[in-house]
Amino acid sequence: MVVSKEKLDFVPHGDELAEPILQKEDSVMVNSSGFDGLVWPNSFNRVADHMQKEGFGERQVNYRLRDWLISRQRMWGTPIPVVYCESCGMQPVPYNELPVLLPDDAEFKPTGESPLKYHNGFLKTSCPNCGGNAERETDTMDTFICSSWYYYAYVSPYWKKGGKLVRDDFPWDVEKINSLCPVDQYTGGIEHATMHLLYFRFFTKVLADLSLLNFREPTKRLFNQGMILGEDHEKMSKSRGNVVNPDLLVKEYGADTVRAYLMFLGPWDAGAAWNSQGIEGLARFFKTVWTLCSLEGKNSSNFSNEIDEKLLKSLHQTIKKVTNELQNFRFNTAIASLMAFRNVLKAEGETAGSEIWNECLEGMLLMLAPIAPHITEELWQKFKPESGSIHTQSWPAFDEELAAEDLITLVVQVNGKVRDRFEIAAGTSKEETEKTALSSPKVQSYLEGKKVRKVIVVPERLVNIVID
């Protein structure tokens, strides 16, 4: 039995227990023979090990994969390689006639049925068994059949093109597959979590069992993106009338602004509700960036100049922040950092044309390029046309010393509860940080008459003081 630590004094014993009390993390086992005192998840592992050792249980991974209909009554899908003969019945298409290709001249009629049923060139064929008249299957497979493994075909898209396929042929270049796969990073929507992502993994495991792959997971890391809701905070749907048409937005604001605003709405894994007014802020941001890149030179200051030092430090701090945020899919905070850097440049526009100013603009455009590929390419061609496309340039590097924050905000907790916040110099030692936290008047009021059992210092983040 597993119970919360806070409930230990109230746990019934033996026959007094009417039903199990189940908790998750930070829970401890009681009334469990030799397992008393074990904390989750170590408790689970110890019990599982014991059951396996004694031979009355074993670990097993359960996949909640259910049968799913693969056929669809539509044209665009993978054809089902089956024909129907009046004499022979259902017959598979011979291997040497694969793949079955869809026609490119089908006529779409308002019948509610697949146009393949009315395309005689596709429909009518001969039986591979008796040679008599036959008809092809006009249903196509659901898209998950292809979406579950398409990325493997990308590795060698022209594999054995023009050559004759035999039954023992691999569907891809094995050497390339094993060197380039599994996928390093996969992003997908939460709406796929219980369907596509299950088949996505299932197909890979099947292909591995068939010795077509030497790995069993399709990707090394998965990141699920959130869902963009309507302005009414409900899922977008035609019936609700809350669908935002991206084509109209692109026409009004441009693709870069729409793209950037979708990234800026909120945490990428959480999603957010659409806000028609919010996109205006992104439009103004890009206008300002364009203006900054168009300013005439007024000053030719040197690095020793105080403004130059400020600009250079801000540049390197921004590169460090944006690099870290993009690597962790925190696109909204990456854009916020670029907006803050924009404000610094805007305030120091008098240095336009100087070496440091141009370095800052170059860094700004390089960091913006993955977010707004079109406007940055156009500005780059005006700014540095001799260097080629912005999208072939190296990512900007930062100097650790210049990127260091002068002051950081330290959080002080007492038994896990925040009791004070104050600023300290970046790089302050653990000993000095602890000393400063303990001397805080606010903290002292909570320590009066108490014994400090432990002080936990997380450099440049927090201090947690544990008291009895």
Question: Residue 390: what pLDDT?
Answer: 95
Q: Which of 71, 84, 77 is nearest to 137 (CA)?
A: 84
Residue 59 lies in a domain: no
Range of the domain at 26: 2-54
- β-pair partners for 182: none
User: Rounded to whole angstroms, what are the CA distances from 457 to 327, 413, 422, 430?
Assistant: 26, 10, 14, 6
Residue 63 lies in a domain: no
Query: Is residue 252 scored above 70 in pLDDT?
Result: yes
Instruction: Render pLDDT for 22-49 as a digit per residue (tens, 0 to 9).
Output: 445 557 788 887 888 888 778 888 888 9
Is residue 96 located within the same domain as residue 159? no
Is residue 392 located within the same domain as residue 250? yes
Q: Which of 459, 458, 398 is nearest to 427 (CA)?
A: 459
Query: Is residue 176 scored above 70 in pLDDT?
Result: yes
Residue 205 lies in a domain: yes
What is the total count of domains within the chain? 5
Over residues 198-224, mean pLDDT: 90
Query: Is residue 413 scored above 50 in pLDDT?
Result: yes
Is residue 245 located within the same domain as residue 358? yes
Residue 61 lies in a domain: no
Domain boundary, last residue among 201, 225, 249: 225
Instruction: Render pLDDT for 392-404 as a digit per residue (tens, 0 to 9).
Output: 999 999 988 888 8
Sequence-separated (6 or more) residues with CB below 8 Å from residue 115: 75, 106, 107, 108, 109
Domain boundary, last residue among 404, 423, 445: 404
Question: Residue 242: what pLDDT?
Answer: 87
Over residues 97-122, mean pLDDT: 90
Is residue 221 located within the same domain as residue 249? no
Q: Which range has the top average pLDDT, 125-139, 160-174, 345-359?
A: 125-139
Instruction: Render pLDDT for 274-305 as a digit per residue (tens, 0 to 9).
Output: 888 888 989 999 999 999 998 876 555 444 57
Residue 166 lies in a domain: yes
Element (DSSP H or E) covering residue 368: helix 355-368
Higher pLDDT, 66 or 217: 217
The pLDDT confidence band at residue 63, using thresholds 50, 70 and 90, is low
Sequence-separated (6 or more) residues with CB below 8 Å from residue 279: 249, 253, 257, 258, 261
Question: Residue 26: what pLDDT?
Answer: 58
Is residue 210 located within the same domain as residue 324? no
Is residue 252 located within the same domain as residue 288? yes
Higher pLDDT, 185 or 13: 185
Is residue 268 located within the same domain as residue 373? yes
Is residue 167 located within the same domain as residue 238? no
- Between CA 201 and CA 192 the distance in angstroms is 12
Residue 62 lies in a domain: no
Residue 430 belongs to domain with CATH number: 3.10.20.590
Higher pLDDT, 327 or 37: 327
Query: Is residue 170 scored above 70 in pLDDT?
Result: yes
Q: Within the chain, how many helices (H) and strands (E) appear?
A: 16, 16
Element (DSSP H or E) covering residue 228: strand 227-229
Contact (Cβ atoms closer than 8 angstroms) between residue 134 and residue 87:
no
Q: Does the predicted model carry a pTM greater than 0.85?
A: no
Instruction: Render pLDDT for 430-459 as a digit per residue (tens, 0 to 9).
Output: 888 888 888 887 888 888 888 888 888 888
Question: Residue 5: what pLDDT?
Answer: 44
Query: Is residue 228 scored above 60 in pLDDT?
Result: yes
Is residue 198 located within the same domain as residue 219? yes
Residue 115 lies in a domain: yes
Is residue 105 located within the same domain as residue 164? no
Tokens 């659901």 sit on residue: 142
Domain boundary, last residue among 142, 170, 188: 142
Say what percent of the chain tops pLDDT 90: 35
Is residue 383 located within the same domain as residue 433? no
Lowest mean pLDDT among 18-22, 180-184, 261-265, 417-421: 18-22
Residue 11 lies in a domain: yes
Residue 259 belongs to domain with CATH number: 1.10.730.10
Is residue 43 located within the same domain as residue 95? no
Question: Residue 13: what pLDDT?
Answer: 41
Question: Residue 359: what pLDDT?
Answer: 93
